[in-house]
Amino acid sequence: MAASPLRSVALACAAALALASCGGTDRTADSDRAWPRGELRSGGKRVEAPLRAGEVHRYRLPLERGTLLRLVVDQQGIDATVALEDPAGAKVLEADRLINDRGPELVLAVAQKTGVHTLIVSGLEGGPGRYAARVEVLRPATEGDRSSAEAYRIFTGAVSLEKKEPEKAMAARQRALATWQELGEVALKAEALDRIARAHYDRGEYRQAAALYGEAADAFARAGDPRWEASARTNAGASLLFLAETREAAEQYDRALFLARREEDLLIQAKALHGLGQIAQEEGDLQQAFDRYREALSLWPKNDRKRPLTLHNLGVLSHDLGDERGGRDLLLEALGAWQSKDPAWRATTLSQLGRLAQESGRLDEARQYFKDALSLEPGGCGSAVKLARLALVEQALKARPAADQRLAEAFRVVSSRSCSRSAPTVHQYAAAIAEQRGGDAAARTEYRRSQALFAAQGDRMGEAQALTGLARSERALGDRRAALQSSRQALDILEGVRPTVLREDLRMSFFATVQGLFDFHIDLLMDMGKDEEAWATAERARARTLGDLLAEKGASSPKGAATAPAAHERDLQRQLNLLESQRLRTNEEDTRKLQSLRRSIATRVTDLESARGELRRRNPRRASLLRPEPVSLAVVRHDLLDGDTVLLEYRLGEPASTLWAISRDAFVTARLPPRHELERRAREAASQISSTEWPRRYRPALCELSRMLLERAAPVLAHRRLVVIADGALAGLPFSALPDPVDPAACAGAPALVDTHEIAYLPSVAVLLTQRRLLAGRPPAPRWLAEVADPVYELGDSRLGGPANAGAESRGGPVPSLHRLPGSGQEAADIARLLPADKVFLASGFDASRQTVTGGRLAGFRIVHFATHGVFDAEQPMLSALVLSQLDAAGRPVAGFLLAHEIYDLDLPAELVTLSACQTARGREVPGEGLVSGLPRAFLYAGAARVLMSLWKVDDRSTRDLMILFYRGLLERNLAPAQALQEAQRDLRRSGHPPRQWAGFVLLGDWRPLPPFSR
């Protein structure tokens, strides 16, 4: 019998899921017509259509009762739901998988009635996008099919129960999981495990979530679904990250990233990269964290809800790395990207912006950020600290009633809830406000409360901060003895915390944040007449990160021979960092979890001390490097100073700075003007000395600065060698060019210090002592001199001699407008002629390459000399660089920048590294750490005993003249480096060269003579 027109249309729709051509809303079934038994093959034609959010597409789908339908709608750039209605219009099921806008939504059902069913595709979020729909299975259902389809109906229906009846939703999914396990439906079992894991994750039950996500991923792998497997593994990684199990989390993220890249799924790649960035950030590999976040950011869809989290993390990281403007811009972008359904995260970003504004002194801006954050997070424990911080801002803005109101609100929050983590901080801010108002007794009371609460929580840093405030209050109340005891206790806590800080950046920022305590303690000791203890305290606070890095390198085993105890120690340090990060992330109302974390932290600290004890037992030398005895005056006099040397150590502070002048038989202490005055004068002086308009006579301002810095040290200045430990802006001041302060009345025509003194610089006494212990017994390198000079930057410069005006070039020209420096080539050739040819290695022209340096060619030389352009990065000193050849001999571009952070990986046991380039001593001032200049610190870590470096831009010709004079003294007359530099600078000064042409080079490190060059 011929088919009717209606039936012909119905069959066509069933076979191809006909789209608009099969339109209409008639749901009436023609039960009198027989439905053809048989299978609609999955290889049939699929249907594609565009879809926007809010759009609804319907399709007629004739089915016979008892037929199994398995249909997929593949989403492409838009998140959609799919639903199936029976011929009467009743909803059979509605599905929205946890796959956002990529991948297939599934319809799995057994028709209970014969007739035209309706498939409904609804656009939710994203888009505009597309979808492709096709029937995979259409056949008579078996008993197993019926069970599986019923399980799917229950499973998808659980979504509507999640908010109001979560336990019923969980029970429904567990029933579906049990059915699919029994039927051996691996793919559906995997999906059920994934959805149940999500429920545990949303509840904060991360242990269960991690286990279930892992099971789901394995099941998806067995089912041959790599995209779902990758998705489950990213979620397993996120769960494990909350548990501080970062190695296991990294394994899951790495596997997910591999699968997502193979499947070209950008969204899952972004999720995995973000997770790996979090792990790298917490474990201290900040460069990798930065790179992972940046790559994730490039992959996130613009409207994805998790993209702002990457922006937020990258903003905080950038700010903490010193890029304040970049960090703020990223946080602002995150703020604009958070959706209305993410108020808690938006409040967190607002609070971070408030912190940045407050620290930068933009108080009105900080006030508004904190207010906006509080409007999104009213009443919870998290609001208490924001309220207290806002109170502090209001106080700074002299809005006392508003400050009182906000502080009272903060106290109401912590008293009405179990806000154990916020309460001590609120008391601390209350104390700071009382202190600013002159209420020292009230401040002392609040600081004591804060200290007790922090101590009860085991929060050592918080306790140290409270003790610092307590010491200030006690001093203000006239009890100097109690103030000294409190500040000593705070410093002892900080010394206990310091070894647990594994990350270099955190060590540096850690000491930067506690310099106020050191300044207070030093000033108090000086006020009490304890000058020697004050100096020893200043040494404790200076260049600790650099000293730690050198000590750890010297204490480590050779490559490939790491001892088990040493590895265990680093693992414990890593675990401590992770546990502390987790503690800070934990909701403070979760007291049981916080107590558990505190117990775990205490256990790790005990384990760490045990591991270190074992290391000290096995390797006494390692113990002496990592935990040397505190620096004492007796040690300095006995181990460092000879009869010709005086140590000048400066500590800048408010309200006063301090100079300690130490020789073998004298200890002179002088109080100097405050930091702000000395730094202003030092910067002005450095500008005058490096100016092209040198007046040939000392100006009164330079005479006054020299008097401030040196007059009180006059009793010991008769020594011929000055070793300067500078602080703050003094690190950029060439002492060699200062006038001798002996006769202030005749200062304008006075000799320069370089006329009568060798001058060397140190980061700290402790660093030099560590370095000497580290290098003790190191045999001199077999060869004498390696030079890298006159690199090629462009094809036009590859001719011998370079451009006609190259002789006037600065060795720190703008990048990339670099020109060849013929003076540097001549400099290197003249220096090489001072030694036997078989003791010298000279790489110039195309050979002055990055590959030459990183390939190990310089490792066997006592002196390594670089004559090239230097590039200084003020924001990130570790990105400062020496610019080597940009082309190879065939004229092909090559990587030519040798970055400071790459130098750390070199093996360069040189006695001297000379950086004959511009601004190689420049850096970023970090409180307590000094001038963090990327290149010199990197070479010291790589093995150099001392570094000759430049404070400003130096021109090619005068630098060549200075270097040749320096090396003649060093190599022909066997002078010590400091003396050879003094005589070279003095010769140029006496021949009429202005200070900018000779005073810019300074020696950092050991001033003792080099091992003899036996010919």
With a CB cutoff of 8 Å and minimum separation 6, the contacts of 12 are 18, 22
Highest mean pLDDT among 210-219, 495-504, 685-694: 210-219
Retrieve residue 952's tokens: 């400003």
Helix (H, G, I), strand (E, B) or coil at 900: helix
The secondary element (H helix, E strand) that includes residue 149 is helix 143-157
Question: Which of 98-102, 294-298, 746-750, 936-940 has the least mean pLDDT?
Answer: 98-102
Are the beta carbons of 78 and 102 closer than 8 angstroms? no
Amino acid present at 55: E
Is the pLDDT higher at 183 or at 360? 183
Phi-psi region of 54 (alpha: psi -120 to 50; beta: other; left: phi over 0): left
Burial of 696 (0-12, 13-18, 19+ CB in 10 A): exposed
Lowest mean pLDDT among 175-184, 213-222, 296-305, 924-933: 924-933
In the prediction, which pLDDT does 525 show?
94
Query: If you count DSSP H runs as helices and E runs as strands, how many of each does the chain have, helices first?
Result: 36, 22
Cβ(946)–Cβ(775) below 8 Å: no
pLDDT for res 109? 96
Structural contact between residues 432 and 443, judged by C-beta atoms closer than 8 angstroms: yes
Among 380, 407, 415, residue whose Cα is nearest residue 391:
407
In this predicted structure, which of 169-173, 379-383, 615-619, 723-727 has the lowest mean pLDDT?
615-619
Distance, in Å, from the CA atom of 209 to the CA atom of 198, rounded to the nearest integer, reads 7
Q: Check whether 436 has a pLDDT greater than 90.
A: yes
User: pLDDT higher for 408 or 776?
Assistant: 408
Taking residue 170's Cβ as centre, other Cβ atoms within 10 Å add up to: 18
State residue 915 phi and psi, 5-degree precision.
-110, 85
**Pairing assessment for the beta strands 758-761 and 930-932 based on DSSP bridges:** unpaired
The reported pLDDT for the residue numbered 318 is 80
The candidate with the shortest Cα–Cα distance to 483, out of 446, 437, 517, 438, is 517
Peptide bond into 655 cis (omega under 30): yes
The sign of the dihedral angle between the CA atoms of 683, 688, 690, 696 is negative
Q: Return the structure tokens found at 339.
A: 């959706």
Tell whether the model's pLDDT for residue 592 goes beyond 80.
no
Closest by CA position to 567, among listed 531, 618, 528, 511 = 618
Continuous H helices in 642-795: 675-689, 700-710, 765-775
Q: Do 607 and 569 contact (CB within 8 A), yes or no?
A: no
Between CA 128 and CA 195 the distance in angstroms is 27
Q: What is the pLDDT of residue 240?
A: 93
Query: Cβ neighbours of residue 718 under 8 Å, at least 6 residues apart?
Result: none
Q: Any idea what the Cα angle at residue 419 is, between residues 414 and 420, rounded to 5°? A: 120
DSSP 855: T
- pLDDT at res. 529: 93
Residue predicted with more confidence, 654 or 411: 411
Q: Which of 902, 892, 866 is nearest to 791 (CA)?
A: 866
Contacts of 242 (CB under 8 A, 6+ apart): 206, 582, 585
297 in Cβ contact with 310 (< 8 Å): yes
Q: Is the pLDDT of residue 30 over 60?
A: no
Torsion of CA 249, 251, 255, 260, to 10 degrees: 40
Look at the block and give the residue holding tokens 């200049």: 933
pLDDT of residue 103: 79
Cα–Cα distance for residue pair 642/976, rounded to 1 Å: 14
Report yes or no: 642 and 664 within 8 Å, Cβ to Cβ: yes
User: Residue range 183-206: average pLDDT?
Assistant: 93
Q: Is the pLDDT of residue 347 over 50?
A: yes
Structure tokens at 240: 């494990």
- Does position 555 have pLDDT exceeding 70, yes or no? no
- Encode 390-422: b = buried (16+ Cβ within 10 Å), e = exposed: bbbbbbbeebeebbeebbebbbebbeebebbbb
Q: Global pTM?
A: 0.63
pLDDT tens by residue, 795-827: 655 433 333 233 335 555 434 456 777 778 888
For the chain, the helix, strand and coil percentages under 3-state DSSP, each to the nearest 5: 55, 15, 30
| Residues 26 and 128: beta-carbon distance below 8 Å | no
Distance, CA of 313 to CA of 493 (rounded, Å): 29
Answer yes or no: are the C-beta atoms of 362 and 346 closer than 8 Å: no
pLDDT of residue 825: 83
Q: What is the DSSP letter of 750?
A: P
Residue 99 has pLDDT above 90, yes or no: no
Q: Compute the distance between CA of residue 812 and CA of residue 920 in angstroms, rounded to an integer.
A: 9
pLDDT given at position 559: 43
Q: What is the pLDDT of residue 502?
A: 40
pLDDT of residue 359: 82
Q: Please state, in angstroms and rounded to a whole number, the distance separating the CA atoms of residues 828 and 835.
A: 12
Whole-number Å distance between alpha carbons of 62 and 783: 89
Confidence of residue 1009 (pLDDT cuts 50, 70, 90): very high
Checking if the pLDDT of 28 tops 50, the result is: no
pLDDT at 653: 87
Question: pLDDT grade, residue 511 (50/70/90)?
Answer: low
CB contact at 8 A, 915 and 882: yes
Going by C-alpha positions, the residue among 558, 989, 538 that lies closest to residue 757 is 989
- Helix (H) / strand (E) element for 841: namely strand 840-845
Residues 633 and 637: their CA atoms lie apart, in Å, by 6
Q: Distance between CA atoms of 761 and 54, rounded to whole angstroms?
A: 70
Instruction: Report yes or no: 113 and 61 within 8 Å, Cβ to Cβ.
Output: no
Q: Which residues contact 192 (CB under 8 A, 6 or more apart)?
A: 155, 173, 176, 177, 180
**Mean predicted confidence (pLDDT) in 590-609:** 71
* Least confident segment among 150-159, 415-424, 508-517, 954-963: 508-517
CA-to-CA distance for 458 and 451, rounded, in angstroms?
A: 10
Burial pattern 454-490, b for ≥16 Cβ within 10 A else e, equals bbebbbbebbbbbbbbbbbbbbbeeeeebbbebbbbb
Inform me whether the pLDDT recorded for 929 exceeds 80.
no
What integer pLDDT is reported at residue 958 of this predicted model? Answer: 87
> Which range (166-170, 557-561, 721-725, 747-751) has the least confidence?
557-561
Of 830-839, 871-880, 905-914, the least confident? 871-880
Tell me what the mean pLDDT of segment 750-763 comes to: 92
Host H or E run for residue 784 = strand 783-791
Question: What's the distance, CA 357 to chain centroid?
Answer: 20
Residues in the chain: 1015
pLDDT for the residue 205: 92
Q: Give the CA diameter of the chain.
A: 126
What's the whole-number average pLDDT of the chain? 82
Please give the single-letter amino acid code of residue 814. P
Q: For 124-159, how does the pLDDT look when each residue is reduced to its tens digit (9 = 90+)?
A: 877 788 999 989 899 999 999 999 999 999 999 998
| DSSP helix/strand/coil, 59 | strand
Query: What does the CA dihedral 33, 39, 44, 46 come to, rounded to 10 degrees?
Result: 70
* Percent of the chain scoring above 90 in pLDDT: 49
DSSP three-state, residue 88? coil
SS (H, E, C) 718-764: CCCEEEEECCHHHHHCCHHHCECCCCHHHHHHCCEHHHCCEEEECCC
According to the per-residue pLDDT averaged within each range, which of 11-20, 435-444, 460-469, 770-779 is highest?
Answer: 435-444
> Does the pLDDT of residue 26 top 60, yes or no?
no
Query: What residues contact residue 255 under an 8 Å CB cut-off, 6+ apart?
Result: 230, 233
- Percent of the chain exceeding pLDDT 70 equals 81
Q: What pLDDT is attached to residue 194?
A: 95
For 628, list phi and psi in degrees, rounded to 5. -70, 160
Start-to-end CA distance of the chain, whole Å, equals 114
User: Residue for token digits 């384990």?
Assistant: 607
